[in-house]
């Protein structure tokens, strides 16, 4: 695969991934609302608001695969999430279908299942438990990816990203950390694996304290190189300086669960 579209190219993850993806995919098309500040010679930028179907259609024209990072990357008001993450993701997949694109990697999130307790290990077949409007949009995106995979033949690969950074910075992230290199390894499976139809995997590195069973990713050939436990001392020291969160400390979604929380804590802990 040579010509690949990266949406959300100006965002935090997109900016980090560009230099790692460029040697792998010679024609890397970048798209976002704003042009990256460090656009390099030879990089092609196509501006696109995901809420504008015509603009999205122009961005996907002629590409072989898509890495969809674009959208609102944190919790936000419903109208923001609706337009950027729900309508925008629909526009992306529909435009890909119309343009004949055959592969799409969708950046899902751990927040699609954030209301599972930290004491429980989950795989990819448990029902979704979004912890936020943002998490709802990621659960929608996974369902939409399945629809376009089975209905229209777009091989889709959904990565429930934990927290991508150079290192885990607190105790929660020791369980969900994902290094940039390991994320690229997962993306390559999504774009390059022959015969892929629709898969959901967890985006995490080699995390000894993981809450997720990532067996399916390993079956597909994923071999994470980076270990969260190498950074445990620093992460736990940082955790000791944080205030307790009576809700977020129980659930995998952390502060996304405690924000605006008005539920019955003891009841949902047993669900």
Are residues 154 and 102 in contact, defined by beta-carbon separation less than 8 angstroms?
Answer: yes
Q: For residues 1 and 64, give the distance between their C-alpha atoms in angstroms, rounded to a whole number.
A: 7
Predicted pLDDT at 157: 98
Tokens of 142: 């996974």
Predicted pLDDT at 40: 81
Nearest partner of 162 among 205, 116, 119, judged by Cα: 205
Length of the chain measured in residues: 271
Predicted pLDDT at 269: 87
Q: For residues 183 and 19, give the distance between their C-alpha atoms in angstroms, rounded to a whole number.
A: 13
Domains defined along the chain, listed by start = 3-269 (3.40.50.720)
- Known catalytic residue: 134? yes
What pairing do the DSSP bridges indicate for beta strands 27-31 and 44-45? parallel
Instruction: Spell out the residues 6+ positions from residue 76 whose beta carbon is closer than 8 angstroms to its own.
Output: 133, 134
Nearest partner of 8 among 142, 95, 148, 105, judged by Cα: 105
Predicted pLDDT at 128: 98
Tokens of 119: 């004491």
Q: For residues 145 and 234, give the distance between their C-alpha atoms in angstroms, rounded to a whole number.
A: 38
Predicted pLDDT at 238: 98
* Apex 53 CA angle, 47 and 54, nearest 5: 65
CA R_g for the chain: 18
Per annotation, catalytic residue among 90, 116, 134, 222: 134
Are residues 110 and 139 in contact, defined by beta-carbon separation less than 8 angstroms?
Answer: no
Predicted pLDDT at 5: 97
Paired strand residues for 28? 4
pLDDT tens digit at each of 271 positions of the chain: 899 999 999 999 999 999 999 999 999 999 999 999 888 877 899 999 999 999 999 999 999 999 999 999 999 999 999 999 999 999 999 999 999 999 999 999 999 999 999 999 999 999 999 999 999 999 999 999 999 999 999 999 999 999 999 999 999 999 999 999 999 999 999 999 999 999 999 999 999 999 999 999 999 999 999 999 999 999 999 999 999 999 999 999 999 999 999 999 999 988 8
pTM equals 0.97
Predicted pLDDT at 38: 85
Torsion of CA 216, 212, 130, 254, to 10 degrees: -150
Predicted pLDDT at 43: 83
Paired strand residues for 29? 5, 44
């Amino acid at each position: 695969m040579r010509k690949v579209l990266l949406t959300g190219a100006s965002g935090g993850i997109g900016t980090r991934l560009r230099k790692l993806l460029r040697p792998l995919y010679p024609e890397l098309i970048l798209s976002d609302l704003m042009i990256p500040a460090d656009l390099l010679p030879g990089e092609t930028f196509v501006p696109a608001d995901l809420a504008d179907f015509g603009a999205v259609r122009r961005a996907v024209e002629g590409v072989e695969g898509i890495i969809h990072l674009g959208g609102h990357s944190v919790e936000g008001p419903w109208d923001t999430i609706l337009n950027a993450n729900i309508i925008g993701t629909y526009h992306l997949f529909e435009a890909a279908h119309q343009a004949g694109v055959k592969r799409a990697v969708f950046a899902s999130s751990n927040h699609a299942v954030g209301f599972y307790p930290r004491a429980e290990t989950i795989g990819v077949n448990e029902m979704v438990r979004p912890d936020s409007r943002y998490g709802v949009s990621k659960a929608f995106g996974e369902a939409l990816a399945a629809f376009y995979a089975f209905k229209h033949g777009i091989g889709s690969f959904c990565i429930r990203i934990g927290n991508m950074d150079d290192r885990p910075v607190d105790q929660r992230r020791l369980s969900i950390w994902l290094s940039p290199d390991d994320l690229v390894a997962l993306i390559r499976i999504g774009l390059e694996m022959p015969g892929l139809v629709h898969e959901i995997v967890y985006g995490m590195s080699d995390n000894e304290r993981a809450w997720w069973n990532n067996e399916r990713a390993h079956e597909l050939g994923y071999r994470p190189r980076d270990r969260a436990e190498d950074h445990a001392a620093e992460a736990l020291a940082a955790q000791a300086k944080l205030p307790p969160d009576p809700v977020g400390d129980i659930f995998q979604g952390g502060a996304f669960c405690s924000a605006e929380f008005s539920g019955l804590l003891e009841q949902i802990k047993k669900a």
